[in-house]
Amino acid sequence: MTTPFPTSAPLPVVRLIPKANARAIRHGAPWVYENELVTDRRTKALAPGTIAVLEDSLRQPMGVVTVNPNSKIICRMLDADPEASIDQAWMAAHLRRALALRERMYDAPYYRLVHAEADGLPGVIIDRFGDTCVIQPNAAWSDALIEPLTAALIEVTGVKNVLKNASGRTRSLEGLDDVSGVLAGTAPDAAVPVLMNGATYMADLTGGQKTGIFYDQRPNHAFAASLSRGARVLDVFSHVGGFGLAAVANGAASALCIDGSAPALALASEGAAAMGVSDRVTTRQGDAFDVLTALRAEGAEFDVIICDPPAFAPAKPALEAGLRAYERIARLAAPLVAEGGIIGLCSCSHAADLAAFRAASVRGIGRAGRRPSLIHTGFAGADHPQLPQLAETGYLKSLFFHL
Protein backbone atom coordinates (compact mmCIF):
# COMPACT_ATOMS: atom_id res chain seq x y z
CA MET A 1 0.00 0.00 0.00
CA THR A 2 1.02 3.59 -0.43
CA THR A 3 1.79 5.68 2.64
CA PRO A 4 -1.19 7.76 3.80
CA PHE A 5 0.54 11.14 3.84
CA PRO A 6 3.37 11.71 1.36
CA THR A 7 5.32 14.82 2.29
CA SER A 8 7.25 15.64 -0.84
CA ALA A 9 5.84 13.52 -3.65
CA PRO A 10 2.74 14.77 -5.51
CA LEU A 11 -0.54 13.74 -3.97
CA PRO A 12 -2.29 10.77 -5.55
CA VAL A 13 -5.30 11.56 -7.71
CA VAL A 14 -8.78 10.07 -7.47
CA ARG A 15 -11.51 10.71 -10.01
CA LEU A 16 -15.28 10.91 -10.09
CA ILE A 17 -17.23 8.73 -12.49
CA PRO A 18 -19.14 10.63 -15.22
CA LYS A 19 -22.51 10.12 -13.49
CA ALA A 20 -21.35 11.59 -10.16
CA ASN A 21 -22.82 14.93 -9.12
CA ALA A 22 -19.71 17.08 -9.41
CA ARG A 23 -21.78 20.27 -9.20
CA ALA A 24 -23.05 19.33 -5.72
CA ILE A 25 -19.49 18.82 -4.50
CA ARG A 26 -18.39 22.16 -5.97
CA HIS A 27 -21.34 23.76 -4.13
CA GLY A 28 -20.31 22.35 -0.78
CA ALA A 29 -21.43 18.72 -0.54
CA PRO A 30 -18.68 17.22 1.63
CA TRP A 31 -18.85 13.50 0.82
CA VAL A 32 -18.18 11.23 -2.15
CA TYR A 33 -19.69 7.76 -1.91
CA GLU A 34 -17.95 4.66 -3.21
CA ASN A 35 -20.35 4.35 -6.17
CA GLU A 36 -19.41 7.88 -7.31
CA LEU A 37 -15.66 7.29 -7.59
CA VAL A 38 -13.50 5.37 -10.03
CA THR A 39 -12.35 2.53 -7.78
CA ASP A 40 -9.61 0.90 -9.81
CA ARG A 41 -6.83 -1.21 -8.31
CA ARG A 42 -4.69 1.85 -7.61
CA THR A 43 -7.46 3.63 -5.71
CA LYS A 44 -8.36 0.52 -3.72
CA ALA A 45 -4.70 0.18 -2.70
CA LEU A 46 -4.63 3.61 -1.03
CA ALA A 47 -4.20 3.42 2.73
CA PRO A 48 -7.24 4.56 4.76
CA GLY A 49 -6.92 8.28 5.39
CA THR A 50 -4.74 9.00 2.38
CA ILE A 51 -4.74 12.66 1.34
CA ALA A 52 -5.42 12.99 -2.38
CA VAL A 53 -6.55 15.39 -5.08
CA LEU A 54 -10.09 14.85 -6.33
CA GLU A 55 -10.79 15.38 -10.01
CA ASP A 56 -14.08 15.39 -11.87
CA SER A 57 -14.66 13.00 -14.77
CA LEU A 58 -13.08 15.56 -17.14
CA ARG A 59 -9.88 15.53 -15.04
CA GLN A 60 -10.47 19.02 -13.65
CA PRO A 61 -9.18 19.31 -10.05
CA MET A 62 -11.89 19.93 -7.43
CA GLY A 63 -9.85 20.05 -4.23
CA VAL A 64 -8.05 17.99 -1.64
CA VAL A 65 -9.85 15.02 -0.09
CA THR A 66 -9.13 12.23 2.33
CA VAL A 67 -9.72 8.76 0.94
CA ASN A 68 -10.79 5.62 2.79
CA PRO A 69 -11.36 2.64 0.47
CA ASN A 70 -12.81 0.72 3.46
CA SER A 71 -15.70 3.14 3.95
CA LYS A 72 -18.90 3.73 1.97
CA ILE A 73 -17.97 7.42 2.30
CA ILE A 74 -14.86 6.90 0.23
CA CYS A 75 -13.85 10.59 0.07
CA ARG A 76 -14.35 13.50 2.44
CA MET A 77 -13.62 16.98 1.17
CA LEU A 78 -10.90 18.77 3.13
CA ASP A 79 -10.16 21.86 1.05
CA ALA A 80 -11.47 23.24 -2.23
CA ASP A 81 -7.95 24.39 -3.08
CA PRO A 82 -6.17 21.50 -4.83
CA GLU A 83 -2.84 23.01 -3.72
CA ALA A 84 -3.73 23.00 -0.01
CA SER A 85 -1.30 21.34 2.41
CA ILE A 86 -3.10 19.38 5.11
CA ASP A 87 -0.63 19.97 7.93
CA GLN A 88 -0.57 21.38 11.45
CA ALA A 89 -0.85 24.95 10.21
CA TRP A 90 -3.93 24.05 8.15
CA MET A 91 -5.53 22.40 11.16
CA ALA A 92 -4.66 25.34 13.42
CA ALA A 93 -6.35 27.77 11.01
CA HIS A 94 -9.58 25.76 11.17
CA LEU A 95 -9.37 25.48 14.94
CA ARG A 96 -8.90 29.25 15.29
CA ARG A 97 -12.07 29.89 13.31
CA ALA A 98 -13.98 27.38 15.41
CA LEU A 99 -12.64 28.85 18.65
CA ALA A 100 -13.45 32.43 17.65
CA LEU A 101 -17.08 31.45 17.05
CA ARG A 102 -17.43 29.67 20.41
CA GLU A 103 -15.82 32.53 22.29
CA ARG A 104 -18.45 34.86 20.83
CA MET A 105 -21.20 32.62 22.18
CA TYR A 106 -19.98 31.41 25.57
CA ASP A 107 -18.38 33.10 28.54
CA ALA A 108 -16.71 29.93 29.85
CA PRO A 109 -14.66 27.32 27.92
CA TYR A 110 -17.23 24.53 28.11
CA TYR A 111 -18.67 23.71 24.70
CA ARG A 112 -18.29 21.69 21.52
CA LEU A 113 -15.27 23.26 19.90
CA VAL A 114 -15.38 21.33 16.62
CA HIS A 115 -18.48 19.80 15.05
CA ALA A 116 -16.95 17.82 12.21
CA GLU A 117 -17.81 18.84 8.63
CA ALA A 118 -19.61 22.01 9.73
CA ASP A 119 -16.33 23.31 11.15
CA GLY A 120 -14.25 22.14 8.19
CA LEU A 121 -12.68 19.14 9.95
CA PRO A 122 -14.62 16.17 8.57
CA GLY A 123 -15.31 13.39 11.02
CA VAL A 124 -13.68 15.24 13.94
CA ILE A 125 -15.52 15.99 17.18
CA ILE A 126 -13.81 18.03 19.89
CA ASP A 127 -15.52 18.89 23.17
CA ARG A 128 -13.87 21.31 25.57
CA PHE A 129 -13.97 21.10 29.35
CA GLY A 130 -11.89 24.02 30.60
CA ASP A 131 -8.23 23.09 30.24
CA THR A 132 -9.07 19.62 28.88
CA CYS A 133 -10.28 18.68 25.40
CA VAL A 134 -11.70 15.35 24.30
CA ILE A 135 -11.22 14.43 20.63
CA GLN A 136 -13.28 11.88 18.77
CA PRO A 137 -11.32 11.25 15.54
CA ASN A 138 -14.12 9.48 13.68
CA ALA A 139 -12.52 9.57 10.22
CA ALA A 140 -9.41 7.70 9.17
CA TRP A 141 -7.45 10.82 8.23
CA SER A 142 -7.84 12.39 11.66
CA ASP A 143 -6.89 9.14 13.37
CA ALA A 144 -3.70 8.90 11.31
CA LEU A 145 -2.90 12.62 11.80
CA ILE A 146 -3.82 12.71 15.47
CA GLU A 147 -0.40 14.01 16.55
CA PRO A 148 -0.39 17.24 14.48
CA LEU A 149 -4.09 17.66 15.27
CA THR A 150 -3.32 17.46 18.98
CA ALA A 151 -0.41 19.86 18.62
CA ALA A 152 -2.59 22.34 16.72
CA LEU A 153 -5.30 22.08 19.37
CA ILE A 154 -2.86 22.88 22.17
CA GLU A 155 -1.32 25.70 20.10
CA VAL A 156 -4.67 27.37 19.46
CA THR A 157 -6.52 26.83 22.75
CA GLY A 158 -3.72 26.52 25.29
CA VAL A 159 -5.37 23.50 26.91
CA LYS A 160 -3.16 21.30 29.08
CA ASN A 161 -4.81 17.94 28.54
CA VAL A 162 -6.07 16.23 25.39
CA LEU A 163 -7.89 12.91 25.55
CA LYS A 164 -8.88 10.57 22.73
CA ASN A 165 -12.32 8.97 22.81
CA ALA A 166 -12.51 6.09 20.35
CA SER A 167 -15.98 4.81 21.21
CA GLY A 168 -18.96 4.93 18.92
CA ARG A 169 -20.43 3.41 15.81
CA THR A 170 -18.85 5.85 13.37
CA ARG A 171 -15.28 4.65 13.93
CA SER A 172 -16.25 1.06 13.26
CA LEU A 173 -17.79 2.13 9.94
CA GLU A 174 -14.40 3.67 9.06
CA GLY A 175 -12.57 0.47 10.02
CA LEU A 176 -10.94 2.11 13.05
CA ASP A 177 -10.20 0.64 16.47
CA ASP A 178 -11.92 1.48 19.75
CA VAL A 179 -8.80 2.23 21.81
CA SER A 180 -9.11 5.46 23.80
CA GLY A 181 -6.28 7.14 25.67
CA VAL A 182 -4.39 10.28 26.69
CA LEU A 183 -2.84 12.27 23.85
CA ALA A 184 -1.29 15.05 25.95
CA GLY A 185 -1.12 15.94 29.63
CA THR A 186 -3.10 13.76 32.03
CA ALA A 187 -6.64 12.49 32.38
CA PRO A 188 -8.71 13.96 35.23
CA ASP A 189 -8.82 11.65 38.25
CA ALA A 190 -12.43 12.65 39.01
CA ALA A 191 -15.52 13.88 37.23
CA VAL A 192 -15.24 17.43 35.88
CA PRO A 193 -17.93 19.92 36.98
CA VAL A 194 -19.63 21.72 34.07
CA LEU A 195 -21.90 24.70 34.74
CA MET A 196 -24.79 25.20 32.31
CA ASN A 197 -28.17 26.86 32.71
CA GLY A 198 -27.57 27.33 36.43
CA ALA A 199 -26.98 23.60 36.99
CA THR A 200 -23.79 21.74 37.81
CA TYR A 201 -23.17 18.59 35.77
CA MET A 202 -20.45 16.08 36.56
CA ALA A 203 -18.75 14.86 33.36
CA ASP A 204 -16.76 11.63 33.35
CA LEU A 205 -14.29 12.31 30.54
CA THR A 206 -12.75 8.84 30.47
CA GLY A 207 -15.50 6.38 31.39
CA GLY A 208 -18.72 8.19 30.53
CA GLN A 209 -20.89 8.15 27.42
CA LYS A 210 -19.43 9.89 24.37
CA THR A 211 -17.11 12.66 25.60
CA GLY A 212 -18.73 12.82 29.05
CA ILE A 213 -21.61 15.23 28.55
CA PHE A 214 -24.13 16.21 25.89
CA TYR A 215 -23.56 19.87 25.12
CA ASP A 216 -26.02 19.73 22.23
CA GLN A 217 -29.07 19.80 24.52
CA ARG A 218 -28.06 23.03 26.29
CA PRO A 219 -30.80 25.27 24.76
CA ASN A 220 -33.43 22.56 25.17
CA HIS A 221 -32.48 22.11 28.83
CA ALA A 222 -33.01 25.85 29.20
CA PHE A 223 -36.41 25.82 27.51
CA ALA A 224 -37.67 22.91 29.60
CA ALA A 225 -36.35 24.57 32.76
CA SER A 226 -38.27 27.76 31.90
CA LEU A 227 -41.50 25.75 32.10
CA SER A 228 -40.59 23.94 35.31
CA ARG A 229 -40.89 26.50 38.11
CA GLY A 230 -42.70 24.76 40.95
CA ALA A 231 -43.18 21.64 38.81
CA ARG A 232 -42.75 17.95 39.43
CA VAL A 233 -40.30 16.90 36.70
CA LEU A 234 -39.55 13.47 35.24
CA ASP A 235 -36.31 13.19 33.27
CA VAL A 236 -36.30 9.93 31.28
CA PHE A 237 -32.98 8.74 29.80
CA SER A 238 -31.46 11.39 32.04
CA HIS A 239 -27.77 10.47 31.66
CA VAL A 240 -26.07 12.74 34.25
CA GLY A 241 -29.29 14.64 34.95
CA GLY A 242 -29.44 16.90 31.89
CA PHE A 243 -33.03 18.10 32.03
CA GLY A 244 -33.71 17.30 35.67
CA LEU A 245 -30.86 19.29 37.19
CA ALA A 246 -31.54 22.31 34.94
CA ALA A 247 -35.18 22.23 35.99
CA VAL A 248 -34.39 22.10 39.71
CA ALA A 249 -31.77 24.83 39.30
CA ASN A 250 -34.52 27.03 37.87
CA GLY A 251 -37.18 26.42 40.51
CA ALA A 252 -38.68 22.97 39.92
CA ALA A 253 -40.17 21.44 43.06
CA SER A 254 -38.62 18.04 42.35
CA ALA A 255 -36.96 15.95 39.64
CA LEU A 256 -36.88 12.20 39.21
CA CYS A 257 -34.07 11.06 36.91
CA ILE A 258 -34.41 7.69 35.18
CA ASP A 259 -31.57 5.96 33.35
CA GLY A 260 -30.27 2.47 32.70
CA SER A 261 -26.75 3.39 33.79
CA ALA A 262 -25.97 3.36 37.51
CA PRO A 263 -22.72 5.34 37.00
CA ALA A 264 -24.60 8.06 35.09
CA LEU A 265 -27.20 8.33 37.85
CA ALA A 266 -24.45 8.49 40.45
CA LEU A 267 -23.04 11.50 38.58
CA ALA A 268 -26.52 13.06 38.53
CA SER A 269 -26.69 12.69 42.31
CA GLU A 270 -23.19 14.12 42.62
CA GLY A 271 -24.24 17.12 40.55
CA ALA A 272 -27.33 17.63 42.71
CA ALA A 273 -25.15 17.53 45.82
CA ALA A 274 -22.78 20.10 44.34
CA MET A 275 -25.80 22.35 43.72
CA GLY A 276 -27.18 21.81 47.21
CA VAL A 277 -30.46 20.36 45.89
CA SER A 278 -30.14 16.69 46.83
CA ASP A 279 -33.44 16.91 48.71
CA ARG A 280 -35.25 17.69 45.43
CA VAL A 281 -33.52 15.21 43.10
CA THR A 282 -34.05 11.44 43.15
CA THR A 283 -32.91 8.73 40.75
CA ARG A 284 -34.30 5.42 39.59
CA GLN A 285 -32.29 2.91 37.59
CA GLY A 286 -33.93 0.68 35.03
CA ASP A 287 -35.13 0.22 31.49
CA ALA A 288 -37.09 3.34 30.60
CA PHE A 289 -40.00 1.45 29.05
CA ASP A 290 -40.32 -0.73 32.15
CA VAL A 291 -40.02 2.19 34.59
CA LEU A 292 -42.64 4.25 32.74
CA THR A 293 -45.00 1.28 32.86
CA ALA A 294 -44.33 0.85 36.59
CA LEU A 295 -44.89 4.54 37.30
CA ARG A 296 -48.29 4.32 35.60
CA ALA A 297 -49.21 1.38 37.81
CA GLU A 298 -48.08 3.35 40.86
CA GLY A 299 -50.37 6.23 39.94
CA ALA A 300 -47.47 8.68 39.54
CA GLU A 301 -48.07 12.10 37.99
CA PHE A 302 -45.71 14.84 36.80
CA ASP A 303 -46.11 18.38 35.54
CA VAL A 304 -43.19 18.19 33.08
CA ILE A 305 -41.80 15.04 31.48
CA ILE A 306 -38.83 14.97 29.10
CA CYS A 307 -37.72 11.83 27.24
CA ASP A 308 -34.27 12.05 25.64
CA PRO A 309 -33.45 8.52 24.43
CA PRO A 310 -30.38 7.32 22.54
CA ALA A 311 -30.66 7.10 18.77
CA PHE A 312 -33.40 4.59 18.08
CA ALA A 313 -32.81 5.03 14.32
CA PRO A 314 -29.05 5.52 13.86
CA ALA A 315 -29.27 4.58 10.17
CA LYS A 316 -31.95 4.11 7.50
CA PRO A 317 -32.29 0.31 7.96
CA ALA A 318 -33.39 0.96 11.56
CA LEU A 319 -35.83 3.76 10.70
CA GLU A 320 -39.16 1.94 10.96
CA ALA A 321 -38.24 0.17 14.20
CA GLY A 322 -36.87 3.43 15.55
CA LEU A 323 -40.06 5.35 14.81
CA ARG A 324 -42.08 2.65 16.54
CA ALA A 325 -39.84 3.04 19.60
CA TYR A 326 -40.32 6.83 19.63
CA GLU A 327 -44.08 6.30 19.37
CA ARG A 328 -44.00 3.82 22.24
CA ILE A 329 -42.06 6.18 24.50
CA ALA A 330 -44.62 8.92 23.84
CA ARG A 331 -47.51 6.52 24.49
CA LEU A 332 -46.04 5.37 27.82
CA ALA A 333 -45.02 8.84 29.04
CA ALA A 334 -48.09 10.87 28.08
CA PRO A 335 -50.48 9.29 30.64
CA LEU A 336 -48.12 10.38 33.42
CA VAL A 337 -48.43 14.07 32.51
CA ALA A 338 -50.83 16.06 34.69
CA GLU A 339 -53.67 17.94 33.00
CA GLY A 340 -52.19 21.06 31.44
CA GLY A 341 -48.67 19.69 31.76
CA ILE A 342 -45.78 19.51 29.32
CA ILE A 343 -44.11 16.60 27.57
CA GLY A 344 -40.79 17.03 25.77
CA LEU A 345 -39.71 14.34 23.32
CA CYS A 346 -36.24 14.25 21.79
CA SER A 347 -34.52 12.38 18.97
CA CYS A 348 -30.84 12.31 18.04
CA SER A 349 -31.46 9.97 15.09
CA HIS A 350 -30.43 11.67 11.86
CA ALA A 351 -32.21 8.95 9.88
CA ALA A 352 -35.54 10.08 11.36
CA ASP A 353 -36.22 13.54 9.99
CA LEU A 354 -38.26 16.12 11.86
CA ALA A 355 -41.54 15.34 10.09
CA ALA A 356 -41.27 11.59 10.71
CA PHE A 357 -40.28 12.05 14.35
CA ARG A 358 -43.08 14.53 14.94
CA ALA A 359 -45.63 12.17 13.39
CA ALA A 360 -44.45 9.26 15.55
CA SER A 361 -44.58 11.41 18.69
CA VAL A 362 -48.10 12.67 17.95
CA ARG A 363 -49.30 9.11 17.24
CA GLY A 364 -47.95 7.94 20.57
CA ILE A 365 -49.53 10.80 22.49
CA GLY A 366 -52.82 10.24 20.69
CA ARG A 367 -52.78 6.53 21.43
CA ALA A 368 -52.41 7.43 25.09
CA GLY A 369 -55.69 9.34 24.86
CA ARG A 370 -54.13 12.78 25.23
CA ARG A 371 -54.63 15.85 23.07
CA PRO A 372 -51.32 17.64 22.30
CA SER A 373 -50.53 21.11 21.06
CA LEU A 374 -46.98 21.68 19.87
CA ILE A 375 -45.51 24.72 21.63
CA HIS A 376 -41.82 24.54 20.74
CA THR A 377 -39.38 22.78 18.42
CA GLY A 378 -35.76 22.79 19.51
CA PHE A 379 -32.49 21.76 17.91
CA ALA A 380 -28.85 21.44 18.93
CA GLY A 381 -27.02 24.43 20.36
CA ALA A 382 -25.06 26.87 18.24
CA ASP A 383 -21.79 25.11 19.13
CA HIS A 384 -23.15 22.23 16.98
CA PRO A 385 -23.47 24.12 13.67
CA GLN A 386 -25.19 22.48 10.74
CA LEU A 387 -23.65 22.13 7.30
CA PRO A 388 -26.59 22.93 5.01
CA GLN A 389 -25.44 20.41 2.43
CA LEU A 390 -25.27 17.58 5.01
CA ALA A 391 -28.52 16.63 6.68
CA GLU A 392 -26.69 14.43 9.21
CA THR A 393 -25.34 17.53 10.99
CA GLY A 394 -28.91 18.50 11.92
CA TYR A 395 -29.56 15.30 13.82
CA LEU A 396 -31.09 16.60 17.09
CA LYS A 397 -34.79 17.44 17.36
CA SER A 398 -36.78 18.29 20.51
CA LEU A 399 -40.56 18.65 20.50
CA PHE A 400 -42.45 20.17 23.44
CA PHE A 401 -46.20 19.58 23.69
CA HIS A 402 -48.81 21.03 26.02
CA LEU A 403 -51.30 18.30 26.96
Query: Is it the case that residue 1 has pLDDT exceeding 50?
Result: no
Give residue 131's pLDDT: 97
From the list 249, 74, 2, the residue with the least C-alpha distance to 235 is 249
Q: Quick check: is 133 catalytic?
A: no
**Mean of the per-residue pLDDT values of the chain:** 95
Give the percent of the chain with pLDDT over 70: 98
Q: Could you report the per-residue pLDDT of 74-105, keeping only the tens digit for each?
A: 999 999 999 999 999 999 999 999 999 999 99
pLDDT of residue 7: 52
Catalytic residue among 75, 257, 307, 348: 348
Share of the chain above pLDDT 90, in %: 90
Distances (CA, A) of 365 to 243, 360, 403: 20, 9, 9
Q: Note the pTM of the prediction, 2 decimals.
A: 0.94
> In 194-318, which ranges are continuous DSSP H helix?
218-226, 242-249, 262-275, 288-297
Radius of gyration of the chain (CA): 23
Domains identified in the chain and CATH numbers: 13-79 (2.30.130.10), 88-184 (3.30.750.80), 192-402 (3.40.50.150)
